[in-house]
Amino acid sequence: MKFVNCWEEDDRVYLKTKTELLIEQPEWYFTIEKKDASENRDILKDCLRRKAITRFEDEGTGWIRIYTPYLKRKTLILYLRSMMKTYEDDVRLWQRYLIDNEIELETEQSVLYFDIECEDLKRGLNAGNEKIVSIAVIGSDGREDVFYSIKSEKTILKKFIERMNEYDILAGWFSEGFDLVAIKKRCDLNKIPFDCRVTEWSAKDLGGLDSVRKQGRERARPEKFNHIDLMQKMKEMHYRDTELIKKVRSFSLGSVSKVILGEDKVDLNGESIYNLSRNNPELLKKYNLQDTRLLKKLDDKLQIIKQKLIEHAICGARINDYTSHGKIDPFALRAAKRFNKRLPSRPDQKKIEDSFRDNVSDVSAIDVGNKAIKKKGDYAGGFVFDPTTGIHPYIHVFDFSSLYPSIIKTFNVSPETYVGDKRDGDTIRMPDGATFS
């Protein structure tokens, strides 16, 4: 079985395939080491008696599964973490279901490319502030349409959602920061259900690409349908391509299309969308549809979506899992399962902060908001000088390619190979004294 999308609601998992939507209510568990289970047998039995634990299962490889009601798991986890090390207690229900059942991502998915046009009477780019007058769509099967109306925005939105539901993936250009945000807000105003959250931008783990991804103030976060912002994905793929960046100047659809395709947007001769929607709707439709055609042509040529599907299929991640940990976590969890290993749970942020505070002599060194927490004895890291702006001749860059991976391989760095200060036998000792087998 292969999945198109997967999500959870309460203690149920919704698995969408090419042909059906399955609803499952799987058991959820985390693991502990067998020796910890033996040493804390009475405590675990008491948790079982109180129904905080529903059952145990010996995996036969040194690990004990702890099954617990998913919606009440956090109290038990915090309690047991104070006495023993837990493994994979941060894995979500839908992740556990996909991994244990070895369900892979479907790489053959249909795509609906779309673009919206809004009235432009107000100043600035503020998604959702003005009425949508046109939505153009083109499917990967070649079917085209323009949903246009100046009388009923509700009609446009309903027709768009109906068409969207016929495809596996929705794709736009800067749609994460504008088009989908606008559609969600206008659906709310028109009291039309649309399963998509709108959140404020955050610098938290954007795959190290916050500087090239960040646009606008808000972003759309759908869960029950797949969405790919082709502009954001293209930036990720080409953010080191300085020659391309010089050519496109900006990553606007028009600039990229001219460079990659040799085609441009329809010229509106300075007319506003508002005026066109009332005085020349045919030109507006042509303009809207051409933008969507450019989207499809760019993807057909660059294979952006195909690349993303293969990347996420290799990782075992969902299409909407765009962050680095969203892709790396399922990849690591699936690999660990094949080797009968269990991965340590991710510590909660408060525990990390408290741990650092206990080891810091200077309280002023703690800045949780900027993650500038320094532990006593840690190296300070590189100092970044304030830049002197301007054009400078003879610039030299001293950098190592893949520095961290090279260090990891050279010193065989891994939690499983760490042996503390041991110096016996065939060990590798790092400059700070840490030793690995």
Per domain, the residue ranges of the chain are 2-105+321-338, 111-311
Return d(Cα 142, Cα 139) in angstroms, integer.
5
Return d(Cα 266, Cα 285) in angstroms, integer.
10
| More confident: 390 or 189 | 189
Start-to-end CA span in the chain (Å)? 40
| More confident: 355 or 373 | 355
Return d(Cα 172, Cα 182) in angstroms, integer.
13
Distant-in-sequence, close-in-space partners of 146: CB < 8 Å, separation ≥ 6:
134, 135, 136, 137, 285, 288, 289
Return d(Cα 143, Cα 112) in angstroms, integer.
9
In degrees and rounded to multiples of 5, residue 57 shows phi and psi of -150, 125
Question: pLDDT value at position 393?
Answer: 83
- Check pLDDT > 60 for residue 352: no
**Mean pLDDT of all residues in 138-151:** 96
Using the structure block, give the residue that is written with the tokens 């506003």: 272
pLDDT digits (tens, 9 = 90+) for 9-26: 999 999 999 999 999 999
Interior angle at CA 216, CA 213 and CA 222, nearest 5: 75
- Check pLDDT > 50 for residue 325: yes
- Check pLDDT > 50 for residue 244: yes
Count the neighbouring beta carbons within 10 Å of the beta carbon of residue 137.
24
- How far, rounded to the nearest angstrom, does the alpha carbon of residue 97 sit from its chain's CA centroid? 19
**Mean pLDDT of all residues in 139-150:** 96
CB–CB of 167/140 below 8 Å?
yes
| More confident: 359 or 105 | 105
pLDDT digits (tens, 9 = 90+) for 42-68: 999 999 999 999 999 999 989 999 999
Question: pLDDT value at position 382?
Answer: 62
Distant-in-sequence, close-in-space partners of 376: CB < 8 Å, separation ≥ 6:
359, 360, 361
- Check pLDDT > 90 for residue 282: yes
Distant-in-sequence, close-in-space partners of 87: CB < 8 Å, separation ≥ 6:
30, 31, 32, 33, 63, 342, 343, 344, 345
- Check pLDDT > 80 for residue 123: no
Interior angle at CA 243, CA 242 and CA 249, nearest 5: 85
Give helix then strand counts, H and E, for the chain: 16, 18
pLDDT digits (tens, 9 = 90+) for 360-402: 444 333 343 334 434 444 545 566 677 788 888 887 766 666 7
Question: pLDDT value at position 23?
Answer: 97
User: Among residues of the chain, what percentage have pLDDT more than 90?
Assistant: 64
Return d(Cα 337, Cα 330) in angstroms, integer.
11
Q: Of 148-152, 156-160, 262-266, 356-360, give the lowest mean pLDDT range.
A: 356-360
**Mean pLDDT of all residues in 74-85:** 92
The tokens of 30 are what? 């985390």
Q: Share the mean pLDDT of the chain.
A: 86
Q: Beginning with the edge strand found earlier in the chain, give each strand of the sheet holding 226-229 in spatial order.
A: 144-148, 132-139, 111-118, 169-172, 226-229
- Using alpha carbons, select from 191, 125, 126, 120 the residue that is nearest to residue 157: 191
Question: pLDDT value at position 373?
Answer: 38
Beta-bridge mates of residue 220? 198
- The domain 111-311 is placed in CATH, from the list 1.10.3720.10, 3.90.1150.10, 3.60.15.10, 3.30.420.10, at 3.30.420.10
Encode burial over 376-403: b for 16+ CB neighbours within 10 A, e otherwise: eeeeeeeeeeeeeeeeeeeeeeeeeeee
Three-class DSSP category at 386? coil
- Check pLDDT > 90 for residue 102: yes
Q: Is the fold of 2-105+321-338 the same as that of 111-311?
A: no
2-105+321-338 folds as DNA Polymerase; Chain A, domain 1 (3.30.342)
Question: pLDDT value at position 413?
Answer: 81
**Mean pLDDT of all residues in 306-319:** 95
| More confident: 429 or 366 | 429
Question: pLDDT value at position 214?
Answer: 46
**Mean pLDDT of all residues in 79-102:** 95
Confidence band (pLDDT; 50, 70, 90) for 218?
confident
76 φ/ψ sector (left φ>0, alpha ψ -120 to 50, else beta)? alpha
Q: Give CA torsion, residues 77, 318, 236, 207, to 10 deg.
A: 0
Question: pLDDT value at position 201?
Answer: 67
- Check pLDDT > 70 for residue 205: no
- Check pLDDT > 50 for residue 131: yes
Beta-bridge mates of residue 115? 136
Return d(Cα 171, Cα 294) in angstroms, integer.
12
Return d(Cα 143, Cα 285) in angstroms, integer.
15
CB–CB of 99/42 below 8 Å?
no
Count the neighbouring beta carbons within 10 Å of the beta carbon of residue 140.
18
Question: pLDDT value at position 4?
Answer: 97
CB–CB of 231/171 below 8 Å?
no
CB–CB of 121/130 below 8 Å?
yes
- Check pLDDT > 50 for residue 210: no
Return d(Cα 119, Cα 116) in angstroms, integer.
10
